[in-house]
Structure 1
């Protein structure tokens, strides 16, 4: 049987007709035991090549001892999602290290094909390091590899890293020197990419596959709003009451901001019976509540209209029929901003990312985030300048800049005479005159005030 036929046979198990070009390149690198770094958009299917690897190897060599795959991932939700998908494939055994004593017993006996685990366990635990060293692992997958820099390194000298073991995942290479590495992420700045290449000691002959994180179907709008919660978000109350608000994510930089906005909205809507349309999701949300919210987001016809969340509602979340995201405050980095933007509009339909901030947010923002929020030129070019090389930026400028679908700045300059707004823009108050009807002239908090 030819290789193409074997791949197609294995893809049938996943109910997928064919591989995309980039997926096939990753799969070929895995089969060749070649290091690969892949930066591909959210929802692209980055995980499929390594999920396909074990079934395909068995199809190629049915009688051979199939090598195992080690997957290092940042979030339990990501691992659980991948394990559930793999368990549907006949003969494939996938486990999460540390999930339960029964699972760990199977793993320690070597009775697995895929082993998922966090850096804290796979690198930080001497016991698990010794087990890993003894297994026939030929492929190491580092999922969401940008967290090596964003979570694994100190922000300041006097402050510990958020999760220090993320900065040490390169040690897996020392434990398994013969294994090849597949590093995956949806977004990665040029600076982080250089850092990750060094930490993972990616070998000569590295295959790099990258698609721009730019999402042309998602329009970017930036607006300054009043500091007071009620003044900044009264329009959401109005749009829920009149039914114009479609499913929307509202990302905050802190649990405190989440709580303030949630309390304000529920106090306005509770007596009118509209509470069922709003939920709040952050790290302190009970697990059963988190699961209920995730399930609602995966259902296109659920009643849930607005989810107020921190980035705990994050990587790998499969959010259906959502075409609007509000990012309130100064995100920690432009990387976080692009991650949050990418959680909407996955079906390719016109969508919008609405960035709302006030002066106090600017006083605490990093220089790249502050530069984006204050820039009076094209928002898309400003943001993508952190991720693309000069050639790709010029191409982007030719393709999108100046169109009303690009950003709020470009919308004001567009001369196509067919300009339209998304539902979220109209709910916020944008009108066909290219001006926002609810312009917040009362916002007197400037950056200098905050300082």
Structure 2
């Protein structure tokens, strides 16, 4: 959300945009045109919710609405902790802002998740606009490799060595675990010790480093060329000039696949390889 706010603020004084993190931000929101916040704040923080309820809100937007199901999913085992339970309560915004319309958006949503989310958001009678997620500018290449990680990625090392790093296409390498990401990162750094245009991004990455990486990826003139990451580098990040997506291991489902490879789909051409 901070990335989205920064982008809108870069347009100048066209609109006033703010990211509300907590109660302390409420005194600054009265004249805002657009407010970004999380379900934990909008619904789960009673004091903040009551403060925001005094605002005249015309439209509520739930972006990436499939996360209402995937992140706020009701656990079958009562002892298991729900990842982000307030996602499941976003429908309560209708009662907080009764005169506001609601717009829900997602690039990847299955039929079953759609029905579940529409119910959770109290939008069963909503008008629906559905388009294909297929993008003609993405080329998929899938090939089998050996078990050794080194043999799977030796071609990438060769291409980096042969290329001028300044013009090497920006590449994201997605892994299913932090351990896999660390192994790949260390392999590339060992083979190419002088390569400084590589970083690693996952849920345990220091917040300052995360901010620096996202800022770099959001610029067409960014220094980083390779980012080894998990799904923590995900939705909403506007990555510029990303030409290649490498998946080290298959995603959990087709929806995750579409999300990940779509980060290259905003470019004139894209290549996605699955190992």
Q: TM-score, normalised by structure 1?
A: 0.56
Alignment map for 1:196-345 (pairs within 5 Å): 196-202=117-123, 204=125, 206-243=126-163, 246-270=169-193, 273=194, 275-345=195-265
Structure 2 residue 273 is matched with structure 1 residue 354? yes
* Alpha-carbon distance change, 201 to 145 in structure 1, aligned in 2, over 3 angstroms: same
Deviation at 1:155, TM superposition (A): 6.0
Give SS of 1:343's match: helix
* Alpha-carbon distance change, 301 to 114 in structure 1, aligned in 2, over 3 angstroms: closer
Of 121-130 and 291-300, deviating more is: 291-300
Q: What CA deviation, in whole Å up to 9, does each residue of 1:339-377 have, x standing for no partner?
A: 11100131332x221111xxxxxxxxxxxxxxxxxxxxx
Give SS of 1:352's match: strand
Q: Find the aligned partners of 1:259 and 1:197 in 2 and give their Cα distance.
A: 39
Q: Find the aligned partners of 2:104 and 2:265 in 1 and give their Cα distance.
A: 25
CA contact (8 A) 1:300 1:320 kept: yes
Which has the higher Rg, Structure 1 or Structure 2? 1
Structure 2 residue 43 is matched with structure 1 residue 123? yes
Equivalent position of 1:441 in the other structure: none
Equivalent position of 1:193 in the other structure: 114
CA contact (8 A) 2:23 2:48 kept: no
Equivalent position of 1:104 in the other structure: 26
Give SS of 2:143's match: strand
Deviation at 1:322, TM superposition (A): 2.1
Q: Find the aligned partners of 1:319 and 1:260 in 2 and give their Cα distance.
A: 24
Alignment map for 1:177-188 (pairs within 5 Å): 177-188=98-109
Please, what is the CA RMSD of the aligned residues? 2.3
Deviation at 1:308, TM superposition (A): 0.6
CA contact (8 A) 2:22 2:41 kept: no
Q: Find the aligned partners of 1:292 and 1:160 in 2 and give their Cα distance.
A: 31
Q: TM-score, normalised by structure 2?
A: 0.88
Equivalent position of 1:84 in the other structure: 9
Higher RCO, Cα 8 Å, sep 6+:
2
CA contact (8 A) 2:5 2:17 kept: no
